[in-house]
Copies of this chain bind each other. A is one copy, B any other.
Amino acid sequence: MFIIGELINGMYKKVAEALLEKDATYIRALAGAQVEVGAQALDVNCGPMSRDIVGDLRWLVENIQKEVDVPLCLDSTKIQAIEEGLKGARVKCIINSSSADKEKLDLYIPLAKKYQASLIVLTMDKKGVPGNKDRRLELAAQIIEAAYAYEFPVQDLYLDPILLPVNVAQNQLFDILESVKDFKSMTTPSVKTVVGLSNISQGSKERSLINRTFLVMAQSYGLDAAILDPLDGELMNSLITADLVLNKTIYCGSYLEAYKKSKIK
């Protein structure tokens, strides 16, 4: 399971403040803390309050890289900001994200190719978020077709089935699980799959419990990556145990401690 830490996001008040005050110490500490507990990449999002997304994203990328070496997941709806982040990055990047609309793919796939970045594409388009599995598959097929047309390596393509909140789209969650498995069977080698995990519990009381319950299921359906809060210890314990049950890591009696020790440098 590829873990993308979600905490460097301007929707969190402290991150927004750090961005405003250019408080690199706070951002670097938040980057380090996530990697120390197991994040293998970090999402970087300026948030809705940023008045200079291009400059802020570049500043975040430059400062995070002073602390950690992991891939950065450049998260913005503004393609100029993403390109600025790509220019400033010396690590592998993941672009987060394109939609399935042809005009978007025609911009984002060449951009990802130019910078040898991975690319997350949401299985949604101008018509909105799919209401069922068939529509998700239809959009996935369009995305894959575009990747082939641009000779973009499918192993660098992350399809995101768009995880919806349980309090508004409870009847879609099983479809989303099955979509993960179906997406992976569409190409050889398989495309990758990713979800923004915390979305499932937006507006719910039992956020951590709902998050880890879905994550474990999704791991068993072949999910490759998740954007999540690596500081949620119970979530991480579930994730590590799911990888163990799925035979992705080798069993030992103290497998939790072994995992944690392997992260501390």
Chain A interface residues toward B at CB < 8 A: 166-167, 170-171, 173-174, 177, 200, 204-206, 209-210, 213-214, 216-217, 219-221, 237-238, 241-242, 244-247, 250-251, 253-256
Contacts and interface: CB of A to CB of B under 8 A. Distances in A.
Nearest to A252: B167
Contact of A217 (B204, B216, B247, B256): B216
How many protomers of this protein does the assembly include? 2
B253 A167 contact: yes
B245 A214 contact: yes
Nearest to A167: B251
A214 B216 CA distance: 8
Contact of A244 (B166, B221, B255): B166
A220 B222 CA distance: 13
A245 B220 contact: no
A237 B209 contact: yes
Contact of A245 (B213, B246, B247, B250): B213
A204 to B, nearest CB: 7
Determine the main DSSP class of A at the interface with B: helix
A46 B113 CA distance: 66
Contacts of A206: 237, 241, 255-256
Given A209-B241, A216-B217, 11 more contacts: A170-B244, A170-B247, A171-B247, A173-B246, A174-B247, A177-B220, A206-B255, A209-B237, A217-B219, A217-B242, A217-B245
A254 to B, nearest CB: 7
B214 A217 contact: no
A195 to B, nearest CB: 13
17 contacts: A167-B251, A167-B253, A170-B250, A170-B251, A173-B246, A173-B247, A174-B246, A200-B245, A206-B256, A209-B256, A213-B216, A213-B238, A213-B245, A216-B217, A217-B219, A217-B242, A220-B220
A221 B253 CA distance: 27
A166 B251 contact: yes
Contacts of A251: 166-167, 170
The list of the 7 closest CB pairs from A to B, nearest first, reads: A217-B220, A213-B241, A216-B216, A170-B251, A171-B247, A170-B247, A173-B245
